[in-house]
């Protein structure tokens, strides 16, 4: 039992493999589209933050004058102490110096890296009136100088290093982008960050500008690949699982217990689906009145496939006409003039269809006329609408006889009879099996038989398997019977 199921699952997995491969390729293509967009979006956010923070830092530098309301006339202990304390409490400046025409150049300690040369350097790079920016290279790295004019002839200068500015002005270490970047004020370079030595002929450039401040980030071509890898590390395994699960789910949705529509259509060609015929007899005389055509499927590896599986699947996809045509094109029983062939059709096949363009030509090709055909209407769906009833009446007028199949088990029952009068009523075998049990179904069987007598609609009782059942029905006046007691379904050779 386990081996066939395992084999079925393997077959299903193989069927889904191409779909899974296509989904995986689709996922890779989607990632290839999304990765550049994601990289561009994250880079844009990064630069927006850098520009906004740069404006904030420059404003802090410019506002240094507000924190220095006093003017000094001597480089004394008071001024030196103020320069030292301000530098110690500043998150931006490493050192401060005070410059004026009166006292000259004054700085707080010997390790202060601000020099008189820096004053001249800054003075030559005015950003706006009273505000100066400059950059110089030292043995310890780049230093950034800012100077504000407190009042005519009085200046305060501060310095800071690249790391301090980078920590304040950038959201995180730009190395995560493997990038080099540059911040500019009025198109003049202000801060270089990241891998300043990076060179790549396939680099990508991103620029943001707000007012006088602009930021540029240059990414190497490999950054796009890294972004794609990061996406794959997050969504790769779930997408791979979904690539296999989704096709299997879709095929399962379009199948019935692992049975697929394509399987059935291929089996037509291989002759695995074939008709069998079960006699319908007059139990009073033993005469064969007709034969019901039934479908069977003998799969070469799965064995016998129950009709309720493949017939239900064909009905779901509206392919039952193909099954009926296929069965009629097989060997048929040799019918006597008084005998009929009983075909199983659904209301969906009958309602609104022009049988002249489908069923009648097939019957003519096999030498059958509508008068020799009984159409058994299955009760899977309730009889609804005047159009459906009109279609059934037209079939009767064309010479077909209509039988209500499996009476007592479906949707229609007495409600069906209230709208349409069939030529035959076939009582479901579950009521036959209740004969002699004294149960509710046995009582209902008697009521159905009486209904047939009262309505003068002939009854055919299905599922007769024993002499006792046949004798009981004879005593109740039922003549037409069908079941293993009279003959099993068999092929016509």
| Residue 329 main-chain phi, psi, to 5 deg | -80, -5
CB 35 within 8 A of CB 235: no
Q: What is the pLDDT of residue 2?
A: 45
pLDDT tens figures, 48-84: 888 888 888 888 888 888 888 889 999 999 999 999 9
Task: Please state whether beta strands 273-282 and 340-345 pair in parallel, antiparallel, or not at all (unpaired).
Answer: unpaired
Q: How far apart are CA 492 and CA 331, in angstroms?
A: 6
Task: Please state whether beta strands 373-377 and 401-407 pair in parallel, antiparallel, or not at all (unpaired).
Answer: parallel
Count the Cβ atoms, other than its own, within 10 Å of residue 128: 12
Q: What is the pLDDT of residue 475?
A: 95
Both structure tokens of 70: 């006093």
DSSP at 337: T
Give the closest residue to 290 by CA, choosing from 173, 164, 376, 354: 376
Q: What is the pLDDT of residue 175?
A: 43
| Alpha helix ranges (H) inside 175-304 | 222-253, 261-270
Q: What is the pLDDT of residue 1?
A: 41
**DSSP β-bridge partners for residue 100:** 104, 154
Residues 6+ apart with CB under 8 A from 221: 200, 202, 203, 204
pLDDT tens figures, 24-58: 677 677 777 777 777 778 888 888 888 888 888 88
Give the closest residue to 395 by CA, choosing from 419, 368, 422: 422
CATH of 68-165, one of 3.90.550, 3.30.70, 3.30.450, 2.30.30: 3.30.450
pLDDT tens figures, 142-195: 889 999 999 999 999 999 988 888 888 877 654 455 677 788 888 877 777 776
> Which residues, given as ranges, of the chain have pLDDT below 50?
1-2, 4-5, 174-175
Q: How far apart are CA 290 and CA 407, in angstroms?
A: 19
Q: What is the pLDDT of residue 111?
A: 77
Alpha-carbon Rg for the chain in angstroms: 46
CB 308 within 8 A of CB 295: no
Q: What is the pLDDT of residue 147?
A: 94
Q: How far apart are CA 385 and CA 383, in angstroms?
A: 7
Q: Would the CATH topology of 68-165 be identical to that of 261-481?
A: no
Identify the three-state secondary structure at position 335: coil
Count the Cβ atoms, other than its own, within 10 Å of residue 90: 17
Q: How far apart are CA 469 and CA 486, in angstroms?
A: 12
Torsion over CA: 382, 385, 386, 392 (sign): negative
Q: Decide if domain 261-481 falls under CATH 2.40.50.140.
A: no
The domain ranges of the chain are: 68-165, 261-481
């Amino acid at each position: 039992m386990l081996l066939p199921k395992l084999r079925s699952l393997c077959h299903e997995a193989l069927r889904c493999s191409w779909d899974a491969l296509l989904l995986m390729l689709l996922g890779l293509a989607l990632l290839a589209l999304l990765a550049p967009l994601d990289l561009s979006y994250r880079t844009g956010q990064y630069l927006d933050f850098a520009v906004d923070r740069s404006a904030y830092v420059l404003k802090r530098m410019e506002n240094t004058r507000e924190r220095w309301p006093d003017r000094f006339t001597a480089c004394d202990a008071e001024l030196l102490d103020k320069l030292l304390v301000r530098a110690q409490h500043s998150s931006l400046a490493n050192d401060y110096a005070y410059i004026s025409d009166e006292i000259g150049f004054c700085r707080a300690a010997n390790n202060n890296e601000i020099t008189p040369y820096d004053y001249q350097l800054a003075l030559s790079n005015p950003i706006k009136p009273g505000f100066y920016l400059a950059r110089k290279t030292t043995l310890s790295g780049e230093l950034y100088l800012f100077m504000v004019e407190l009042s005519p002839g009085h200046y305060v200068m501060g310095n800071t290093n690249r790391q301090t500015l980078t920590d304040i002005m950038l959201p995180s270490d730009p190395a995560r982008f493997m990038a080099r970047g540059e911040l500019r004020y009025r198109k003049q370079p202000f801060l270089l960050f990241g891998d300043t030595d990076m060179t790549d002929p396939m680099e990508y450039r991103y620029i943001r500008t707000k007012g006088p401040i602009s930021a540029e980030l240059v990414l190497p071509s490999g950054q796009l690949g890294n972004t794609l890898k990061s996406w794959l590390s997050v969504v790769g395994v779930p997408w791979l699982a979904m690539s296999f699960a989704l096709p299997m789910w879709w095929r399962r949705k379009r199948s019935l217990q692992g049975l697929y529509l394509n399987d059935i259509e291929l089996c037509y060609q291989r002759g695995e689906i074939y008709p069998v015929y079960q006699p319908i007899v007059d139990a009073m005389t033993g005469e064969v009145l007709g034969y019901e055509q039934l479908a069977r499927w003998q799969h070469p590896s799965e064995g016998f496939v129950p009709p309720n599986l493949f017939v239900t699947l064909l009905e779901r996809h509206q392919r039952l006409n193909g099954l009926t045509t296929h069965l009629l094109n097989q060997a048929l029983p040799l019918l006597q003039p008084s005998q009929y062939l009983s075909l199983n059709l659904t209301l969906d096949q009958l309602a609104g269809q022009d049988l002249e363009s489908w069923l009648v030509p097939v019957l003519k090709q096999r030498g059958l006329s509508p008068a020799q055909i009984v159409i058994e209407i299955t009760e899977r769906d309730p009889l609804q609408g005047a159009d459906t009833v009109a279609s059934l009446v037209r079939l009767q007028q064309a010479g077909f006889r209509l039988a209500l199949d499996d009476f007592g088990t479906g949707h229609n029952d007495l409600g069906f009879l209230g709208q349409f009068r069939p030529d035959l009523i076939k009582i479901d075998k579950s009521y036959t099996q209740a004969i002699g049990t004294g149960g509710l179904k046995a009582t209902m069987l008697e009521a159905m038989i009486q209904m047939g007598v009262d309505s003068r609609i002939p009854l055919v009782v299905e599922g007769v398997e024993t002499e006792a059942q046949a004798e009981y029905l004879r005593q109740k006046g039922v003549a037409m019977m069908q079941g293993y007691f009279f003959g099993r379904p068999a092929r016509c050779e």
